[in-house]
């Protein structure tokens, strides 16, 4: 087994073979073929090209090398085109820190029944005087950067649940087409994560209207994975077992602690008044190819 498979369970390795066309015998060759395409895009600064990094893009595109390179190029192009978003792309940036502390995003410790990591957003927690939408998006992207270092999650993927309870029309009016398009470009088109489902719950009519606006920007694959449950949690539970969900979503787990993910990223001394020096560099090249659980990733 190649070092790139270190830390993977036999079940996940088999899943990668069956679902993603991953072949341990040709892994290094697949990675190199993607790397060889970099010369075709001299307009893009590819700031990271190590094996571990390229592998996550191959997994996100089921080892289609052309599609993998397209995603890799879009990843760096998105960052070049939105330099202000990534200038201080670390957990101690004040905007990202505030968003994390306000639960953007929440990350459940328990995965779903398919091993997918569950991210949750409580939309009504968006205090527009405290958090810009851009900072929330940056906090989500940074969280995904941390999580995607785990090879199990590169293969199993993610679930996103957005609870729109008490999200006002005034708040919704701030979700302009431009910032929604930015979010779609950052998450759908430029990030190597496999999203198995995006679930809306308790959404009011104006969120349906917003969805109609953004629908043309969504790929067919993304549209098929968006589920609008309204207040019908039974339909949510048909796709995500209640044993994997906190009580807010009708699950059997305790209510979600909004600060739990922020504490993992910001460190054990997390509190509102601390100035943080711990940083996460998304382009940091790890010397070891292994990938433990979330706790291993936080030891920085």
pLDDT reported for residue 128: 86
Residues of the chain with confidence (pLDDT) below 70 = 1-2, 6, 268-300
Give the number of other CB atoms < 10 A from CB of residue 113. Answer: 11
pLDDT in tens, 14-49: 999 999 999 999 999 999 999 999 999 999 999 999
pLDDT reported for residue 176: 87
pLDDT reported for residue 151: 95
pLDDT reported for residue 270: 57
Fold of 3-81: Helicase, Ruva Protein; domain 3 (1.10.8)
Pick the CATH number of 91-266 from 2.102.10.10, 1.10.645.10, 2.40.50.140, 3.40.525.10: 3.40.525.10
pLDDT reported for residue 266: 86
pLDDT reported for residue 6: 66
pLDDT in tens, 61-110: 999 999 999 999 999 999 999 999 999 999 989 999 999 999 999 999 99
Q: What single string gives the DSSP state of each residue in 16-78?
A: HHHHH---GGGHHHHHHHHHHGGGG-TTS------HHHHHHHHHHTTT-HHHHHHHHHHHHHH
CA distance 7 to 293: 9
Cα angle value 15/201/137 (rounded, 5°): 70
Among candidates 239, 59, 289, 223, which has minimal Cα distance to 155?
A: 59
pLDDT reported for residue 272: 52
Q: pTM for this one?
A: 0.87
Q: What single string gives the DSSP state of each residue in 70-123?
A: HHHHHHHHHHHHTHHHHTT-STTSHHHHHHHHTTSSEE-SS--TTS-EEEEEEG
Domain ranges of the chain: 3-81, 91-266
CA distance 284 to 53: 10
**CA 272 → CA 76, 123, 139, 260, 266, distances in Å?**
33, 21, 17, 14, 11
CA distance 144 to 186: 11
Q: Give the three-state DSSP class for 223.
A: helix
Mean pLDDT of the chain: 87
pLDDT reported for residue 281: 44
Give the number of other CB atoms < 10 A from CB of residue 119. Answer: 23
CA distance 133 to 116: 26
Among candidates 191, 132, 129, 131, which has minimal Cα distance to 160?
A: 191
């Amino acid at each position: 087994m190649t070092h790139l498979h270190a830390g993977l369970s036999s079940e996940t390795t088999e899943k990668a073979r069956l679902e993603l066309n991953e072949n341990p015998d040709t892994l290094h060759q697949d990675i190199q073929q993607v790397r060889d395409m970099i010369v075709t895009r001299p307009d893009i600064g590819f700031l990271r090209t190590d094996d571990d990094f390229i592998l996550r893009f191959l997994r996100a595109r089921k080892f289609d090398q052309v599609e993998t390179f397209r995603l890799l190029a879009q990843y760096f192009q998105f960052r070049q085109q939105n330099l202000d978003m990534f200038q201080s792309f670390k957990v101690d940036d004040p905007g990202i820190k505030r968003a994390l502390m306000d639960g953007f995003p929440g990350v459940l410790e328990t995965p779903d029944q398919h091993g997918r990591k569950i991210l949750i957003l409580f939309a009504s927690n968006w205090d527009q005087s405290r958090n810009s939408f851009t900072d929330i998006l940056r906090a989500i992207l940074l969280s995904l950067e941390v999580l995607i270092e785990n090879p199990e999650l590169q293969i199993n993927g993610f679930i996103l649940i957005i609870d729109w309870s008490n999200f006002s029309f005034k708040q919704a009016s701030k979700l302009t087409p431009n910032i929604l398009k930015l979010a779609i470009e950052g998450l759908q088109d430029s990030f190597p994560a496999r999203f198995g489902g995006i679930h809306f719950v308790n959404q009011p009519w104006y969120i349906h209207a917003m969805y109609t606006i953004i629908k043309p920007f969504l790929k067919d694959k993304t549209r098929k994975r968006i589920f609008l449950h309204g207040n019908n949690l039974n339909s949510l539970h048909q796709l995500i077992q209640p044993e994997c969900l906190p009580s807010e979503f009708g699950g059997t787990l305790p209510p979600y602690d909004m600060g739990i993910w922020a504490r993992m990223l910001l460190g054990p001394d997390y509190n509102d008044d601390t100035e943080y020096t711990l940083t996460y560099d998304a382009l940091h090249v790890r010397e070891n190819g292994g990938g433990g659980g979330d706790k291993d990733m936080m030891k920085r």
